[in-house]
Structure 1
Amino acid sequence: MGDYIFESDDTLTRTHLGALEDAFDAVSIRQLYDVGIRSGWKCLDAGAGSGSIARWLAGRVGSSGEVVATETDPRLLEGLHDDNVRVLEHDLTRDPLAEAEYDLVHARLLLILLSERERVLDRLIGALKPGGVLVLEDFDVAGAGALLAPEDGDAEVFDRVLETYLSAMAVLGADIRWGRHLYAALRRRGLRDVRSVGHAEVWPGGSSGCELIRTNFTQLRRQILDRGTVGHSEWRRAVELLDHEGFAMRSFLLVANSGLR
């Protein structure tokens, strides 16, 4: 399956992307900053969402550099107006990608959602210039779940809905632990100086991280309920908990893997 799992109406999609940026942009920027991006670099931000990381990259590479931000739906990138940013409507599973073109290739939470992730990974590596840097960020969901809940039984309900959601994701073609496999995948492909850094935290109810999960639960509501392991009342309670001040959960582990071609 090459299609994006979270296809939905515009409002939910934008809420999803906004919560994702609020929850993880600071983490991603720290990883990219450590790469040592310089003025004049040409960068690819694949699956750029609504463009927040592409915008940051544009500030780093300056007027002598260029950032190519790709999305299957370019409407999501309509807020990108930097002179050194080029928005490209592009599907990595189908459309060609220039060879040996970029000093940096970045993608966040993209490969995890693609059943053709191994083939797409090869294409992203091929897009790097010799010596170019690859930075890929993906989830390893192991360990995520409720840490605090307002009423007896709430934590069990939430964890059951979360597990059903993750099972639905896997059926749709996602590899929900892909973040842990990337290190070996990059080493096998001959990248140099491969590094892997993970980030996890506690998300209290009402936080950007919980808003991200709430939106995901809503986008995959039908798939969650169709599995038959949780009912509508349990799904609804899990959604309510994500906005409750007496709730907290351990986040997914976001694993940043980098290496040099």
Structure 2
Amino acid sequence: MAHANDDGYLFDNQRTEAGQRFTAMSELFDPVTFRHLAAVGVTEGWHCWEVGAGSPGVPAWLAARTGAAGRVLATDIDTVWLEPDAPYEVALHDVAAEEPPPGPFDLVHARLVLVHVPERAAALAAMVRALRPGGVLVLEDADPALQPLSCLDEHGPAERLANRLRRGSRELLARRGADLAFGRTLPRLLREAGLTDVAADAYFPVTSPACDALEAATVRQLRDRLVEAGLATEAEIEEHLANVTAGRLDLTMAPLISAWGRKPGGDR
């Protein structure tokens, strides 16, 4: 996804847990994303840029939707989880640091990307430049500060531990430039970028097996950093992972805010 060094994006795509996180996020968020992309009119022949694609779910859906007459380009700073022989193009690209790839595009979409990018204003400007007149930008990002808890019903020590570890994880994100209140700004940012017909909604999973899977993979991926930063002990992490595995917790995720807008001009 977004920005690739030890001081930037926290979730290295090379780790085994990254694949587990992608699987869980696809289960949680793909239906939401597909609903929005269908609603903005993605259809046969569209040219689409999937920014920070991470895993194959969204670009594969776009490729099936746009057909042989369309074009789907999936980019990321690390494309290890994308399929090289898929019916879409794959390219290494840093949206925060590089000019957009050759277009223009009818659709540009990014999910859970900009929240992690310190240079998010430059990245957003690049995505808008890549749109053709009349093209649509769909951004989906989390707002962890809007709902900071891991367990909404904090009724016991297991829930209190889960919430403390969630606070630690978010502190690590903030130290690396993540904006934990970013999701709520998307409608305003799209209007300020000159887009029209701006609208937004939010999705808030409260508890599900996919929430458990995402939590476990995330904590495993961050465990060394949490311990090094003094935000948790190895014993606390093991206790929390045992609670998750045993199904003792109703785990939730940050609200995913989806916003969309259209570049002026064109015939759509």
Q: Deviations over 1:87-129 (max 9, x none)?
A: 1121223332146610000011011111111110110111100
Matched, 1:186 2:190: yes
The DSSP-based 3-state class of the residue aligned with 2:108 is: strand
Q: How far apart are residue 228 of structure 1 and its match?
A: 2.4
Q: Quick one: which of 18, 22, 41 aligns to 2:23?
A: 18
Higher strand share: 1
In structure 2, what is the equivalent of residue 208 of structure 1? 210
Could you tell which deviates more after superposition, 98-107 or 121-130?
98-107
Matched, 1:76 2:69: no
| Identity, % of aligned positions | 31
Equivalenced residues, count: 256
Preserved CA contact (<8 Å) 1:37 1:61? yes
Question: Matches of residues 245-256 of structure 1 in structure 2 within 5 Å?
Answer: 245-256=247-258
CA 1:178/1:103 → structure 2, altered by over 3 Å: closer, same or farther? Answer: same
TM-score, length of structure 1 as denominator length: 0.91
In structure 1, what is the equivalent of residue 10 of structure 2? 5
Q: How far apart are residue 9 of structure 1 and its match?
A: 4.1
In structure 2, what is the equivalent of residue 94 of structure 1? 97
CA 1:237/1:91 → structure 2, altered by over 3 Å: closer, same or farther? Answer: same
The DSSP-based 3-state class of the residue aligned with 2:64 is: helix
In structure 2, what is the equivalent of residue 217 of structure 1? 219
Could you tell which deviates more after superposition, 156-165 or 94-103?
94-103
Preserved CA contact (<8 Å) 1:148 1:249? no
Preserved CA contact (<8 Å) 1:99 1:126? no
Preserved CA contact (<8 Å) 1:100 1:130? no
Question: Matches of residues 21-170 of structure 1 in structure 2 within 5 Å?
Answer: 21-78=26-83, 81-82=86-87, 85-98=88-101, 101-141=104-144, 142-143=146-147, 144-147=149-152, 152-170=156-174
Q: Distance in 2 between matches of 1:246 and 1:43?
A: 42
Query: Structure 1 residue runs of 4+, over 6 Å off?
Result: none
Q: Distance in 1 between matches of 2:13 and 2:111?
A: 19
RMSD value, Cα: 1.9
Q: Deviations over 1:175-230 (max 9, x none)?
A: 122111111111111110111110002124xx112211221212122222233243
Preserved CA contact (<8 Å) 2:196 2:262? yes
Q: How far apart are residue 166 of structure 1 and its match?
A: 0.6
Q: Distance in 2 between matches of 1:174 and 1:80?
A: 33
The DSSP-based 3-state class of the residue aligned with 2:201 is: strand
